[in-house]
Chain A
Amino acid sequence: MKAEGYAKRRQPLGGWDVEIETYQVGDIFYCTINNVDPGARFARAEGSTREEAESKALEKAEKYIKQTRRFPTS
């Protein structure tokens, strides 16, 4: 058994850059989403297709990232 079709890409989400990582192990597709800075994983999902896993993970990620508040820095 191996991870197949490992891929990653970056895109904006809710005002932040995120990295979307997908791969397949056996019959299951996995998707994990990291914030680009600092690089922490904060959402993941699995599905029977790459699109399904990604769609589910993005839905969770959007919900979580909307809760991130910005504060004045001075």
Chain B
Amino acid sequence: MADVLVTTDWVAQHAKDANVRIVEVDVDTTSYDQGHIPGAVGWNWTTELCDTLVRDIIPLRKLEDLLGKSGVDNNTTIVLYGDNNNWFAAWAFWQLKMYGHKDVRIMDGGRKKWLAESRELSTDKPATGVKTYKANEPDVSLRAFLPDVQQASAQKKAALVDVRSPAEFTGEILAPPGLPETCQRGGHIPGAKSIPWGKNCNDDGTFKSVDELKKLYADQGIKGDGPIIAYCRIGERSSLTWFVLKHLLGFQNVKNYDGSWTEWGNLVGAPVEKP
């Protein structure tokens, strides 16, 4: 298993180690309060992992405060997990890597696997103490901005991977069924390949083997020999695919386009491909 993935067994054994901090990050921000891994802290992606004024990743000082009050210093091993197959755990992972945290991992299978295995839960918030955290300036080589994506699409400078569902990719729907529509147009960025995020995972939420993942992407011509940009609707599903490509497959040049379809699908005059 890659050094960025840990099993539920590993977490059960190490959750209370002094140098380990378990963190739950869910799509449904109420899940943590229902019961979480004993000793885990909870981060709310809607308020704590972003800039709440402008649309952006978490600002540096805010990240330092969040980590410090979570009992994390620069040498802590952070293990992230969450619901929806770790969508927002991957979102947190991507941001922590942008800010240079060395040892951050994801619990394979996430909250679903922990619950399905009937493992211990707690509703207590842990007394972590406060530590001092010093973040690096963000490494923007891990992030794609609109001009990067426009250039990639127009000049075929990078492989664009659309990780949304096929119905979102074709423009049949503007958002996942049951969720609010957040764009004006449906379809995909011209030249993008459809490789839905769910193809990375087994039914129990764990990641597929490296050989299976390599084949999945190689079959679409993505072999890690050139730049890759992953996108979805708001950037969390594509964080998961970014994690797979960058950290499980070891591809060097992979960016997450967190503007994603909520940016592209709302731009006046942006080219859109259907189906």
Contacts and interface: CB of A to CB of B under 8 A. Distances in A.
Q: Are A and B subunits of one complex?
A: yes
A37 interface: yes
A30 B179 contact: no
A25 B177 contact: no
Contacts of B28: 32, 41, 44
Interface string B33-68: 011000000000000000000000000000000000
B198 to A, nearest CB: 5
Interface hub of B35, B178, B196 (most chain A Cβ within 10 A): B178
Contacts of A21: 112
Interface residues of A, number: 36
Nearest to B116: A6
Contacts of B171: 71, 73
B198 A37 contact: yes
Contact of B196 (A2, A26, A38, A42): A38
B168 A38 contact: yes
Interface string A33-66: 1110111111110000000000000000100110
A71 B169 CA distance: 12
Interface string A18-31: 10010101101010
12 contacts: A6-B116, A18-B177, A23-B115, A26-B35, A28-B34, A32-B28, A34-B84, A37-B167, A39-B84, A41-B83, A65-B177, A68-B177
